[in-house]
Structure 1
Amino acid sequence: MSDSNPRRLLGAFIRSHREHLPTPAKSIGRRRTPGWRREELADAAGVSVTWLTWLEQGREVQASVTTLNRLAQALSLSPAERASLFDLAGRHDPDTTAEVPMDWLPQLLTLPDHFNGPAYLIDRVWTARAWNRQAAELFVDWLGVDSSERNLLNYVFLNAKAQQFIVDWPDRARRLAAEFRADYHRRPLDGELQRLVDQLLTRSPAFAHYWQQQTVLHREGGERRFSHSLRGLLSYRQTTLVVAMQPDCKLVCLVPNV
């Protein structure tokens, strides 16, 4: 079972990104581990080595917003990684806009039908809640009438047909795991999220491999290509929309590339 304690998750996250930093040009002595030493990160972030050690060990230490900001800068974190750092530390990042949690809005379920191309809604655990006819015809083994699996992650990582359907599956699967980690870090104590992660860690070696890399990405758009059994190679431009008052809801729209 994966660890869901926010302090230990924070420690593992910082340690992983410290070890992935490029070795300093003026490094002295033999290095047993890649990346930066704790002493180097502590110096760059203006904290003590002892405090940083305890933080990486998941001990009961408090990190202020100012300290987290210095850590994010020293670790050269991306915007998505910075957001996860603050989420795990239980602090509000002053550089971001606060999310407003609300119950699922029923009227959102009709949104996919307003699009001509494939469109679908996924909830906080990335299970499809609504989709249009075009999406069902494209994602036959996920959103089709004969499919019983509606969770996007389970479909991508546990359905063998997905690997044949999704062009460049390894890269897409890696990015999907990194995008999901951003959501997971916002709610590490969410039981349903934790059960999904544990199931994937147990049943999918590929997910376990990507998950252990601690990579975090915002859910981004771009080209998506699929090898359809009846329609051949298809190419779309994907856009993901987040409803301002319902941040758990993602509307994914696919526009055919001409």
Structure 2
Amino acid sequence: MRVLRTTSTGTSRLHLPTRSMGIAVVCLPAGTQPTALAAQATATLAARGLATHGVLPHFDTRTRRTSKLLDRWNGLTSGGPIVLLDLHRMRTRAVAGAAAEWLLWQQVVAGTRPAQPFWAFTDRHAADPHRYPLATAQGDYLSQPRVLAMAAHNAIPGQPVPLPTSALEAFQAGYGTYVNLAWLVAVPGDGLAPQPGGWLTTRSQRLADLLDYLTAANAHLAQLPRDAHLVAVASPA
């Protein structure tokens, strides 16, 4: 499961979790023409003050009605009417991947103590930046044995299943929580632009805030008519 993206903090191998936008899902009304999906999704995000880097294949689909879809590629599409998107398969596949990922994580961190997530250190820095500089916060976070175990696993060249430290709190919440998060994040991604307006995303890296966002995003998706459109757009931080 990839809940939040990670960006480098200047080290060659270790990565600290920081918020960044990756996949933004835009909800568009049923009457939208397939040829206008990309432009309208980009305009929707621009109206909310969000930059974009074009559409990207995110949704599973098994339909042959390619004229109704946006950029169908290898079983994936960048968007189209919900009725032609296989959201169930997306969630099922995400859960299966997360289950295997969590079991691997459990092996990698075996014998280590629970670690504090990165936001706990940045909160301490924010409370007293002079006595607790950001560099110290970063060092204290990275020096925790459990984080070191994950970083050592990720440092292996060509690692097929990296374990993002940004998901530390979710990993530690247990198997059930981790796979449920994978189900919840599979469709809406990092941010959702509902209809008729607004913007949903997590307020912070805290697991509780992430769950608040995913609960609201999936509730909105569940009430959309089947002929409404979803479009996935790449959006930077």
TM-score (norm 1): 0.25
Larger Rg: 1
